[in-house]
Structure 1
């Protein structure tokens, strides 16, 4: 009996190890933060960062606007400058896909309109179609007042429904955070 239990336990452990190895085998990192910032803001003199810790009031207002809870207390925005002008902003964030996190970068102009969205890292075996230029272009020009509902405002990619939702949530959250934390006075 003891021998059967050990074989069963061993089989169980090997299955878990194999499953986790297979899942992590799909991880693709497409950009580094530094590289993507340099590419996006190549005309800027410098890129600084601004780390913002949410107050209880900010958290409440933002969560009300999003209709969802925020999972973090602190967000780091990157601010590109040329002379005394702001060229744009960036926020790197993540959202859960089907099982794994997808890392996103959302870029904004100085007024807070989305100029570019990139998938920085993708860990799922399916759904990477959200990386296509055609799909990501749907977000350009969006602001916090725009709805980003997949299937209505944003086209859904067949086989990537959850990834589509994840990107829409990440872009909406980035837009609302930027406007509430940096662009409007509290």
Structure 2
């Protein structure tokens, strides 16, 4: 069997297994952003942190804590949200309570694959929270991918809210 056939079979197998073909390991993303893999920290979602997350997320976040890594004023957050076809996992980089980078790490979305493109993701760069805990920059939706776009918007809000708690030094961390 030639290499072209092997590649096609591998792609078919990955599709049948439900794995993202463009998945990136969270450790690789963190290392790519921070240059090394610092100690993982966690923020527990309870008390005022949980209340704030419920306000911006709209319901219960799918975990009881969120991992983040920090170095030289930058924080990397790895978050999940329910998309139309399963969970979407994304990495958010914050600095001075603003988003400086966003990357979809894993997604099962079919029509919502556009959320993985650099063109779409760059809309989030520079965003912060306004006084009503919404993004202070407009993020255009994508026809046919509303659920996927909303999932990414929710995660961006969660990253910024959690970042503000850690910046203020009032986070209940492990």
TM band (smaller chain): 0.7 to 0.9
**Equivalent of 1:104, from 70, 79, 90?**
90
CA distance in 1: counterparts of 2:169 and 2:73, whole angstroms? 19
Whether contact under 8 Å (1:97, 1:162) holds in the other structure is yes
Q: Cα RMSD over matched residues?
A: 2.5
Q: Which has the higher contact order (CA 8 A, sep 6+)?
A: 2
**Equivalent of 2:74, from 88, 97, 117?**
88
Change (3 A) 1:70 1:183: farther
**Equivalent of 1:143, from 113, 128, 145?**
128
**In the TM superposition, what is the alpha-carbon distance from 1:51 to its structure 2 partner?**
1.3
**In the TM superposition, what is the alpha-carbon distance from 1:60 to its structure 2 partner?**
2.2
Whether contact under 8 Å (2:85, 2:110) holds in the other structure is no
List aligned pairs for 1:159-178, cutoff 5 A.
159-178=144-163
Change (3 A) 1:161 1:23: farther
**In the TM superposition, what is the alpha-carbon distance from 1:167 to its structure 2 partner?**
0.6
Change (3 A) 1:57 1:26: closer
Which stretches in structure 1 are left out of the alignment for 5+ residues? Answer: 1-20, 81-85
Change (3 A) 1:70 1:36: same
| The structure with more radius of gyration | 1
Change (3 A) 1:57 1:155: closer
**Equivalent of 1:35, from 13, 28, 32?**
28
Count of matched residue positions in the alignment of Structure 1 and Structure 2? 154
1:23-62, CA deviations, whole angstroms, 9 ceiling, x for partnerless residues? 75363352111111121122x6x62321122332332244
Counterpart secondary structure, 1:51: strand
CA distance in 2: counterparts of 1:78 and 1:29, whole angstroms? 22
CA distance in 1: counterparts of 2:89 and 2:24, whole angstroms? 10
What's the TM-score, normalizing by structure 2? 0.76
Q: Is 1:70 aligned with 2:57?
A: no
